[in-house]
Amino acid sequence: MQLFLGIDGGGTGCRAAVADASGRILARAEAGPANIASDLPGAMVNILRAADHALTELGAQPSMVRAGLGLAGANAAGVAEQLAATLPFAVARVVTDAVTAVMGALGEGDGIVAAMGTGSVFGVQRGGVVRQMGGRGLAMGDEGSGAWIGRAILARALRAVDGLEDMTPLLRALIDEAGGDDRVVAYSLTARPADYAALAPRVLTSGDAAAEAVMQAATDHVAAAVAVLQAGQDLPVVFLGGLGPTFAARLAGRWPIRPALGTALDGALRLARRDT
Amino acid sequence: MQLFLGIDGGGTGCRAAVADASGRILARAEAGPANIASDLPGAMVNILRAADHALTELGAQPSMVRAGLGLAGANAAGVAEQLAATLPFAVARVVTDAVTAVMGALGEGDGIVAAMGTGSVFGVQRGGVVRQMGGRGLAMGDEGSGAWIGRAILARALRAVDGLEDMTPLLRALIDEAGGDDRVVAYSLTARPADYAALAPRVLTSGDAAAEAVMQAATDHVAAAVAVLQAGQDLPVVFLGGLGPTFAARLAGRWPIRPALGTALDGALRLARRDT
């Protein structure tokens, strides 16, 4: 019996699933982080650990399976090829976790995915071909993401202190809670994207005029990205991630909005089973 | 004879000058970096070293002088007060190097200063009182600065790859020289403000449409900051820093634009001599 292995690997963990030719899942396993750009050897260990656990249950060998891997960092130059050549599977297809998220969310159909979490990344699937957009990280982009929203509200608070924006209750509260504008600046020198993203829920729910301005700018960025991917079509759009429901609500009516059909792990299994 | 000590301390070095009551400079000295937010003990050592060198020439003791210090990092909460209480001078007034730059550039007159270098900071002087604006660092602001310009052109290049902006020869060249869009993203993960700022001269001189769009956005930020500081007046504006001449040219005719009367060290001496 031909077996198919799907791997969904990211900065917090690595999930494996083994399916038969019909797509029925026979075994699952998990292991530690698998970001191949930031730690290729560590990712390799965790991918093999998760795969071995799942395959051992079935009495199968790695060399018997066709594998699809969606891995954080797979867009870094060269590492996906390097990994694919090293893995012990019969076939190994390595793409970014964004691509498998698109494939899992849309199944076989054409459509667009906006994954809005700490970062933001977009993808379109047409005729089974997936194109990724964005996912550049906070310094270069990640517009509309939780980190982008959190950083934007703090920067706006400082601009309000300087008289460059209207001061609002939320902005005043953020400055005061930090202990003053200088403390906000000090915080920003070491803040990571996840730190900024922790502020996003407060921005979403505050009802403050400054928060609404930041959310409108975020929504405009998301709408612009989706519009480019639509290229004049009216494809269904799936919003993923913690902020997915927020943007789905803000952009309701603009395009057909659909729930995700499956996860990035489902997408990795689709990748493994493709063209067989 | 009453002596006055001026100190101009920043991330690259610390300059001292001693003047008499007429403002005539009697001695000068230099020492290492003096950023009191990032390294207070090290800054303290370099401030005292520069001061001692200048005073020893004149056979003077620190306790004899009234000192004015313009120091990078002096806006960080508490450190200026902590330093002022520790210094061995008869009087020690500690402000940011941005404030002494304003005092040096404008002398006694009312006016506005836009200091446009790797970072950006603005100041207004009215009736001898200086108010600082901006200088929040690249994560939170520094709009229009060299770092802001360099980061903006790279982010725009990635957005052009994604089809979110028009691709231009400069953007294509930046991507190609980096070795691809993934390499630009990798670069951004560790790039410091000075790294981004190193791209600014190329943006200034390229004549590329994308470069002009970034420079126009930068100019709009600078104009907005100056307009808030003008508060409806038509005060003279001094542009400082490596990008000062660029913005002076782009904003010529909007307000009276003047050359700087003196340096931040001159400003520190003015601070030392004030109200005596």
pLDDT tens digit sequence for B198-240: 999 999 999 999 999 999 999 999 999 999 999 999 999 999 9
Residues A41, A132 share a domain: no
Shortest CA gap A264–chain B (Å): 22
| Assigned domain for B231 exists | yes
- Contact state of B159 with A141 under an 8 Å Cβ cutoff: yes
Provide, as residue numbers in chain B, all residues whose Cβ is less than 8 Å from the Cβ of A139: 151, 155, 188-189, 191
Provide, as residue numbers in chain A, all residues whose Cβ is less than 8 Å from the Cβ of B77: 179-180, 182-183, 186
Average pLDDT in the A86-99 region?
92
CA distance linking residue B124 with residue B6, whole number of Å: 21
Average pLDDT in the B158-175 region?
97
Average pLDDT in the A10-15 region?
87
| Assigned domain for B128 exists | no
pLDDT tens digit sequence for B32-78: 988 887 788 899 999 999 999 999 989 999 999 999 999 988 877 77
Confidence of residue A182 (pLDDT cuts 50, 70, 90): confident
Q: Which residue of A has its CA nearest to B135?
A: A185
pLDDT: which is higher, A105 or A10? A105
- Contact state of B77 with A140 under an 8 Å Cβ cutoff: no
Average pLDDT in the A222-229 region?
97
Q: What pLDDT shows up at residue B75?
A: 78
Provide, as residue numbers in chain A, all residues whose Cβ is less than 8 Å from the Cβ of B180: 77
Does any CB of chain A come closer than 8 Å to the CB of residue B140? yes
Residues A169, A265 share a domain: no
Q: Which residue of B has its CA nearest to A189?
A: B139
Q: What pLDDT shows up at residue A276?
A: 56
Residues A242, A136 share a domain: yes
Does any CB of chain A come closer than 8 Å to the CB of residue B123? no
Domain of B95?
3-107+261-273
Calculate the average pLDDT of chain B.
93
Residues B203, B230 share a domain: yes
Of A29-38, A103-112, A254-263, minimum mean pLDDT range: A29-38
Calculate the average pLDDT of chain A.
93
Q: Is the dihedral of CA A203, A209, A214, A216 positive or negative?
A: positive
- Contact state of B136 with A185 under an 8 Å Cβ cutoff: yes
Q: What pLDDT shows up at residue A256?
A: 96
Specify the long-range contacts of residues A41-50, CB closer than 8 Å, at least 24 apart: A43/A9, A43/A14, A43/A71, A43/A73, A43/A83, A44/A83, A44/A86, A46/A9, A46/A13, A46/A14, A47/A7, A47/A9, A47/A14, A47/A16, A47/A71, A47/A87, A48/A87, A48/A88, A49/A14, A50/A7, A50/A14, A50/A15, A50/A16
Confidence of residue A67 (pLDDT cuts 50, 70, 90): very high
| Assigned domain for B139 exists | no
Amino acid identity for residue A29 in this structure: A
Q: At a CB cut-off of 8 Å and minimum separation 6, what does B109 contact?
A: B125, B236
User: H-helix or E-strand containing A15?
Assistant: strand A14-19
Residues B212, B230 share a domain: yes
pLDDT tens digit sequence for A149-164: 999 999 999 999 999 9
CATH number at A175 reads: 3.30.420.40
Residues A174, A57 share a domain: no
Average pLDDT in the A180-199 region?
91
Provide, as residue numbers in chain B, all residues whose Cβ is less than 8 Å from the Cβ of A188: 136-137, 139-140
Does any CB of chain A come closer than 8 Å to the CB of residue B190? no
Contact A111, A202 (CB under 8 A): no
Q: Residue B162 is nearest to which of A133, A163, A183, comparing CB atoms?
A: A133
Q: Is the dihedral of CA B101, B54, B46, B273 positive or negative?
A: negative
CA distance linking residue B17 with residue B29, whole number of Å: 7
| Assigned domain for B132 exists | no
| Assigned domain for B78 exists | yes
pLDDT: which is higher, A15 or A77? A15
Q: What pLDDT shows up at residue A74?
A: 85
- How would DSSP label each residue in A131-164? EEEE---TTT--TTSHHHHHHHHHHHHHHHHTTS
Confidence of residue A57 (pLDDT cuts 50, 70, 90): confident
Residues B40, B7 share a domain: yes
Q: What pLDDT shows up at residue A11?
A: 78
Check residue A23 and report its DSSP letter: -
Is residue A218 predicted with pLDDT exceeding 70?
yes
Q: Is the dihedral of CA B228, B233, B238, B243 positive or negative?
A: positive
- Contact state of B139 with A37 under an 8 Å Cβ cutoff: no
| Assigned domain for B43 exists | yes
Q: Is the dihedral of CA A174, A177, A181, A184 positive or negative?
A: negative
Residues A87, A75 share a domain: yes
CA distance linking residue B159 with residue B257, whole number of Å: 36
Q: Which residue of A has its CA nearest to B122?
A: A162
Residues A193, A83 share a domain: no
Shortest CA gap B4–chain A (Å): 30
Residues A115, A240 share a domain: yes
CA distance linking residue A6 with residue B59, whole number of Å: 79
Q: What pLDDT shows up at residue A101?
A: 95
Residues B265, B236 share a domain: no
Amino acid identity for residue A64 in this structure: M
Provide, as residue numbers in chain B, all residues whose Cβ is less than 8 Å from the Cβ of A134: 162
Is residue A275 predicted with pLDDT exceeding 80?
no
Q: Which residue of B has its CA nearest to A76?
A: B182
Q: What pLDDT shows up at residue B276?
A: 56
Residues B252, B167 share a domain: yes
Is residue B115 predicted with pLDDT exceeding 70?
yes
Angstrom distances, CA of residue B135 to CA of A186, B9, B18, B115: 12, 16, 28, 9
| Assigned domain for B180 exists | yes
Count structural domains, chain A: 2
Q: What pLDDT shows up at residue A16?
A: 96
Chains A–B, number of C-beta pairs less than 8 Å apart: 86
In terms of phi and psi (left: phi > 0; alpha: psi -120 to 50; beta: otherwise), the region of A25 is: beta
For β-strands B14-19 and A120-126, DSSP reports them as unpaired
Check residue A165 and report its DSSP letter: S
CA distance linking residue A148 with residue A15, whole number of Å: 28
